[in-house]
Amino acid sequence: SIHLVYLFSNRPSGPLDACSLGAGPGRQALPCQPPPTNMKEFMQIRVDPPGITCGNPPERFCTLENPYLCSDECDASSPDLSHPPQLMGDRERGGLITYWQTITWSRYPEPLLANITLSWNKSLEVVDDIIITFEYGRPTSMVLEKSMDKGATWQPYQFYADDCLEAFGMSPKQVSDLAPTNLTRVICTEKYSRWVGAKEEKNVVFEVRARFGVFAGPKLINMDALYVRMETMKGLRDFFTFSNLRLRLLRPALGGTYVQRDNLLKYFYAVSNIDVPARCRCNLHASRCVLRDATLQCECEHNTGGQDCQRCRGGFRSRSWRPGSYLPLPRGAANTYCECNGHSNRCSYIDFINVVTCVSCKHNTRGQSCQYCRLGYYRNASLPLDDDNICADCDCDPDGSASPHCSDSGLCRCKAGATGRRCDSCVSGFTWRGGGAENLCDSERLLCQNGGTCVDFLRCTCPGNSTGTSVRKMGRCCDDEGGASAALKHFLLLATRR
């Protein structure tokens, strides 16, 4: 059976909420995307290593603010005393705070390490700050990582430490230190790791809104500027895309001091909430995302298909797939006709004429939409426009052609006497000598006289036993002056008949 859950199906209308305008076959396709929601409602949570969650066996613990009052207990067998991983993503009601908790650091100096992996198995685009709420103190050092391929590979998103140089060998930075040219830089921040009290500061933040603000302004008023950058700045849109997140907790909160070995029960990790405001990434080909049998899925339009609308639907393969675009402003383009025809994945926006043009066309193509062939190539009419081999080499013969370029149909411009698509053959009456030389003799019309032999259609070789004065004129062999005169007349006669 298939169970569908619509995410934000009753949302307010927005600029990219509809995938088409009008009705019927003539309707206009428009770029569209699902609305944002808190994706913690749909994340799968896994913690490791095994046994890192407290309560099995039951264990006492203290807090950093009351380090010698160790009356709290974690017991996995008791619903009131257990702290399983799913409490990081639950809805806390009635003011009761629930949280996941690890074992204490009783094995110091062995590191207390824990990983929290959040999985959606679906490409998402983060739209606001990711906030992780820690009870009893934020970690001294940790790393937020992301995966874009459902956990196959991972890359750092941001480093956090009370001393970035000591922990990671990185100079501390904040998002406000970044410029438009290096906005996707992975930084280490000390803002969320220094001890200021467990009750006063609980949140560790991955600042998305501040990064958006570099382009859209601090209040995100100029979103058009952000959309332009999303389309034209390489890697920017992918920077905000992930399918999985992972928190690597490397060192727990210490209370602003060194590790106190006489009371290790006050060192542990506890996470009460993780907010992940994001939307399903549907490549601007869907306005809705559904939960189908526990799997997120875009409801694709524009004849696209796949979990992320990342390919053409069956039966619609006349043009290569392409994601929708925020450009040109203000409404963008659905790109159902694939602007770059599969020969480029980069576009440049020329704002003063409001035109999007393809950049770095591949496969020997050129043009605003990579729809033409470069000089020296011609379009293979038997292939679709998005085929990698659409532009064939003119391959004009360097001897027989007057130019290395050919016509749109692939015909090279030939020198006199040469013919063929590549100008690599001779017309009648010419022989191949550097591209076409006129024949002076042949086996049909311009015969050598008096037994002479035609060599390479270019000259007559007189026989050795010719009598009289051997005269050679106009490529004809003669045995006397009279013969020479007759041969000349014969040649001129033939010439007038050509």
d(CA 345, CA 342): 7
pLDDT > 70? residue 472: no
Q: Is pLDDT at 119 greater than 80 in this prediction? A: yes
Reply yes or no on whether the pLDDT at 2 is more than 50: no
The pLDDT of 19-24, averaged and rounded, is: 80
Residues 29-50: tens digit of each pLDDT: 899 999 999 999 999 999 999 9
**Element (H or E) spanning 479, and its range?**
none
Confidence at residue 357, expressed as pLDDT on a 0 to 100 scale: 82
Closest to 131 in 3D by CA, of 188, 74, 182, 201: 201
**For residue 4, what pLDDT is reported?**
39
- Residue-level pLDDT at 353: 72
Give CATH 2.10.25.10 domain extents, the chain: 12-34+282-332
Q: Write the pLDDT tens digit of every residue in 346-402.
A: 777 777 777 778 888 999 999 888 889 999 999 998 988 888 899 999 999 998 899
Given a contact cutoff of 8 angstroms between Cβ atoms, the answer to whether 437 and 417 are in contact is yes
Does residue 10 register a pLDDT over 90?
A: no
Share of the chain above pLDDT 90, in %: 57
Q: What CA–CA distance (Å, rounded) separates 323 from 310?
A: 7
pLDDT class of 24 with cuts at 50, 70, 90: low
pLDDT of residue 447: 65
Q: 3-class SS at 494?
A: helix
User: Confidence band (pLDDT; 50, 70, 90) for 453?
Assistant: confident
| Percentage of residues in the chain having pLDDT higher than 70 | 83
Region 102-108: what's the mean pLDDT? Answer: 96
- Greatest mean pLDDT among 12-21, 56-65, 237-246, 256-265 lies in 237-246
Domain with CATH 2.60.120.260 in the chain: 37-280
| pLDDT(106) > 60 | yes
Contact status, residue 368 vs residue 357, Cβ threshold 8 Å: yes
* Predicted structure pTM score: 0.69
pLDDT band at 126 (very low <50, low <70, confident <90, very high): very high
Output the pLDDT for position 46: 98
Please tell me the number of Cα atoms within 13 Å of 122 on its side-chain side. Answer: 27
Residues 476-494: tens digit of each pLDDT: 443 333 333 444 444 444 4
C-alpha–C-alpha distance, residues 437 and 362, integer Å: 40
Calculate the CA dihedral of residues 8, 9, 11, 14 and round it to 10 degrees.
110
Q: With cut-offs at 50, 70 and 90, classify the pLDDT of residue 475.
A: very low
Q: Mean of the pLDDT values across residues 82-109? A: 92
Question: 408-422 pLDDT, tens per residue?
Answer: 999 999 988 888 999
Question: Cα angle at 314 between 303 and 287, to 5 degrees?
Answer: 30
| Cβ partners under 8 Å of residue 462, min gap 6 | 450, 451, 452, 470, 472, 477
Best CATH choice for the domain 37-280 from the list 2.60.120.260, 1.20.140.10, 3.90.1150.10, 1.10.3720.10: 2.60.120.260
- Across 164-173, 452-461, 485-494, least confident range: 485-494
Using the predicted structure, report yes or no on whether residue 66 has a pLDDT greater than 90.
no
User: Mean pLDDT in the chain?
Assistant: 84
In angstroms, rounded to a whole number, what is the distance separating the alpha carbons of residues 305 and 283?
A: 11
Has residue 439 got a pLDDT over 60? yes
CATH class of this structure's domain 12-34+282-332: mainly beta
- Amino acid letter, residue 376: G
Contacts of 190 (CB under 8 A, 6+ apart): 160, 161, 162, 163, 164, 172
Q: Residue 344: helix, strand or coil by DSSP?
A: coil
